[in-house]
Every structure is written in structure tokens, then in C-alpha cells.
Structure 1
Amino acid sequence: MSYKTFEALPKPKKELILNVCIEEFAEYGYENASTNRIVKKINMSKGSLFKYFNTKEELYFYVLEHVVKSITSEMSQDMVELPKDIFDRVYKLAAIELNLYIKKPILYQLFKEAFNGKSEISQKLTEKYTVQAGSFFVNIFQDADFSQTKYDKEHVLKLLKWILIGYNEYFMEANSSHIGDIDQYKEDYLKELQMYMTMIKLGLDK
């Protein structure tokens, strides 16, 4: 579907609608989000909202696509100069993601609600974005130095991606109550990640 009518709106109004939708979907997830609450906060009629989007599902997918593009763009700006060493690059990427999470925690909550469920919508999202996320990750490491590893590039990247995804989920869940002290949170996150990177680099055998 074309969203030209919505995209032609004045920037302040468009941003207000998107921000309210992000907050609603992040707090309640897709299933429990209410378009009635959304239009009430925006101060517009429900009919007006559905002039731009035919269904709640269309609105949800549009909001997520907008957020994904914004995150990708913001992260890309911080990735102009990345370390050549594969392990240093993973560390740098993790630091960039962490800074984004600290700056915009609502985005982490939105993705957690979107991709961690077992609903039909979550399955559609996983199918839609798994390949896209994988390509983004591979592109980041396209020119990295893999000479220190004895395994092929494809399997090394898969392992590092799984570890980074799992570590992020574990750490953010385990330390969500400590994010008030941002400097300490960042220090703990990066210190523990560095330990795991060293373990992989040196191997687990004695």
C-alpha cells in the first residue's frame, strides 16, 4: 500500500503520530495496543487515522519499518571508522548499540514486544526482518580482518552474531533496574562483553 497521504503530512503532525504509536506499541505490544488510546493522545478521530492506514496491522508494520530505518541510519553514522580486528569490531558495534539503547530505551522495549512473542504478527516480523538484519550484520564485517580465526568467515560471523544477540538480551534483562547509573551500566556491560570476546579468542580448552 502507498502511504503518500500520511507522508505528505506536515512534519510535526507526522512525528506526533509516529511517537504516540511507538509508545503505545512498546508498552502494550501489538495485540493489546489500542488505536482508541492512540487517537485520543493525538487528538484526532479514528476515521482520520485510518485514512492513512487501512488496518492496525498496516499501522504497526509502518511504525516498525520507520524505527528500523531510523536505527540503521543512526548506527551507520557511528560506523564510519571501525577497527579492522574482528573482535574489536564486535566490541565497537556492541558499544554503539548500547549507546542507542541508553539514549532511546523505548526502542528496545518496542523490539522486545515485537519479536519475542509467539503470535502470528511476531512470526511475520521474524520472517520479514531476519534476512534484513543478517545482511546488515554481514555488511558491517565485510572488510574486517579474519586472519586470526582458523574457521571460515561465514561460521565465525554466525557465532559472533548469536553471542552478541544472546548477551544483549541477557545483560539488559538482568540489569534493567541498574540503568539509572548510566556510566556504571556501560562499564559493566562492556567489561563483561570483553571477557566473553577474550574467551572466544583464546578458546575454551585448557
Structure 2
Amino acid sequence: MKKFETLEEEKKRRILEASLFEFAEEGYEKASTNNIVKEAGIGKGMLFYYFKNKKQLYHYLVEYSLRTIQEQYFSRIDTDEPDFIERMKKVTRLKWEVYLENLAVFQFSSTLFLSDMSGLPERLLSQYKKLQEDGFALLYKDIDLTLFRKDVSRDKLFHIIQYFLGGYEERLKNELKGQSVQAIDFEKYVKEFFEYLDVLKVTFYEEERT
């Protein structure tokens, strides 16, 4: 894989994008290296010159995606915003920006996180676990809990919010599945999500803080 790392950036980008999209669309078992080399515009022998086999390529893509999400997304989250709802709005804007900048990585990651990851090497499972922990830590770091209502359990409020976020994301994935990126009105979905966040804020924040 060291040979792959020394490639010119444009050629490396073509191979990465072709591989990420193929695995994202077909899954590991059905993914075709023939399709990858065709899309990347290289010979099949060259792909296996850079990567010993399909599994090594897949593991490289997993590590590359985790690193990209950490560097391009998590490292840019603003933890100085103490209001949880407002932080979520900023995180949402940032996520869409990074998604559009790294479309292949995020599509691959979406299918990866929903798949059975038990077959991955322990080092990759550890990296994934750490990425999850880092993500949650950034979302909830230094949140001002005094903004929330005092007459109900704040732990339960956070759980309800988490359930909503998970359900909304799943609905969005199903709704956008198969659509081309160019055809998606991202602003419409961001606006809708912000409206839901405002409802959560009215419902769960102290009245004088809304």
C-alpha cells in the first residue's frame, strides 16, 4: 500500500472514489474489482499491484474513511457553543458541507456503519469505536444543562432527543436513497431539520430561555 500512497493525487483520487462508490453500492461480497478499474481508468493488474487483494483494499478504504471523517468533520465541530440545539444546527450545516466535499467517503461510511463490522480487524474496530466515542463527546461537551427544563429528568430528555435524531437520519436515508446528489435540495432538508430542532427547544428548554 506504500506504493499507492506515493501515487499522484489525481490518480489516487480516481481509484479511491471508484472503490468507495463500488463498495457503497454493492457491499463487500458483490463489489467488483472489474468495475473499480474500469471507473478508475487503470488496469486490473495495477490495482493488485497497489493492494494485495480485495480485502486489503476494503480495509484500506475503511481506515481512510474513518480518518477523513475525523479530520474533515469532527475536528471542525465548534464546542464553544453551550446551547445543545444551536450546536446541533451548526453541526448539521457542517456535516452537509463535509458530505458534499467527500461524497464517496460518506456514502461508503453510511453502508459500512449499517453493516456487520465483526469481520474487520481489531485495529479497525478500535478506530471505529474511538470515532464514535469522540463524536458523542464533541456533541455533548460543555453543554449548558441549565437551559433544559428542571421538572423532568435531563437524562431522559437527552435520550428522547437522541431517539429523534436517529429516527430522522434513518428516514432521510430511505427518502434520499437512489437520488443523485445534484437533484437533492439540501437546503430544504436542513430547513426542515432546524424546524424540528426548534420544536425540541420549545418543548424541553426552560420557557424563559426559548
- TM-score for the superposition, normalised by structure 2: 0.73
Distance in 2 (CA, whole Å) between partners of 1:54 and 1:11 is 21
Shift of residue 80, structure 1, vs aligned partner: 4.4
Residue in 2 that maps onto 1:46? 44
Match of residue 132 from structure 2: 133
Question: 1:5 — aligned with what?
Answer: 3
* CA 22–198 in structure 1, closer or farther in 2 if over 3 Å, else same: farther
What number of residue pairs does the alignment pair up? 199
For structure 2, list consecutive stretches of 5 or more residues without a partner in the other structure. Answer: none
Instruction: Provide Cα deviations, 1:169-193, integer angstroms capped at 9, x if missing partner.
Output: 2234246669633332221122123
CA shift for structure 1 position 113: 2.0
User: Compared with structure 1, are the counterparts of its residues 197 and 118 closer, same or farther at alpha carbon in structure 2 (3 Å cutoff)?
Assistant: farther
Amino acid at match of 2:137: V
**Counterpart in the other structure of 1:182:** 186
- Tell me how far apart the structure 2 counterparts of residues 27 and 123 of structure 1 sit (CA, whole Å): 22
> Structure 1's 121 and 19: CA in aligned 2 closer, same or farther, altered over 3 A?
same
1:98 alignment partner AA: W
Closer, same or farther in 2 for the Cα pair 1:94/1:26, shift >3 Å?
same
Q: Report SS of the residue matched to 1:147.
A: helix
**Native 8 Å contact 1:75 1:96 kept in 2:** yes
Q: Which shifted more, 169-178 or 140-149?
A: 169-178
Structure 2 CA distance for aligned equivalents of residues 107 and 20 of structure 1: 11
Distance 1:123 1:53 in 2: 16
Given that 1:39 and 1:45 are in contact with CA atoms closer than 8 Å, whether structure 2 keeps it comes out as yes
Closer, same or farther in 2 for the Cα pair 1:99/1:44, shift >3 Å? closer
1:200 to 1:102, Cα distance in 2 relative to 1, 3 A: farther
Per-residue CA deviation, residues 105-134 of structure 1 (Å, 9 max, x unaligned), is 544432232222347548987665133222
Q: Residue 193 of structure 1 aligns to a residue in which SS? A: helix
Partner of 2:170: 169
User: 1:26 touches 1:113 (CA, 8 Å); kept in 2?
Assistant: yes
User: CA separation in 2, counterparts of 1:160 and 1:45?
Assistant: 49
- C-alpha distance in structure 2 between counterparts of 1:56 and 1:166, whole Å: 34
Q: CA distance change for structure 1 residues 187 and 11 in 2, over 3 Å: closer, same or farther?
A: same
Secondary structure of 2:82 counterpart: coil
Deviates more, 1:63-72 or 1:178-187: 178-187
1:186-197 superposed matches below 5 A: 186-197=190-201
Aligned residue for 2:66?
68
The CA deviation at 1:92 is: 2.1
d(CA) in 1 for partners of 2:16, 2:79: 32
Q: Check 1:164–1:98 CA distance in 2 against 1; reply closer, same or farther (3 A cut).
A: farther
1:35 Cα deviation after fit: 0.7
TM-superposed CA distance for 1:97, in Å, is: 1.9
How much is the aligned-residue C-alpha RMSD, in angstroms?
3.5
Q: 1:47 to 1:159 in 2, by over 3 A?
A: farther
Structure 1 174/95 Cα, relative in aligned 2: closer, same or farther at 3 Å? same
CA distance in 1, matches of 2:55, 2:6: 21
Q: Please give the alpha-carbon distance, in whole angstroms, between the structure 2 residues aligned to 1:40 and 1:187.
A: 39
Identity of matched residues, %: 27
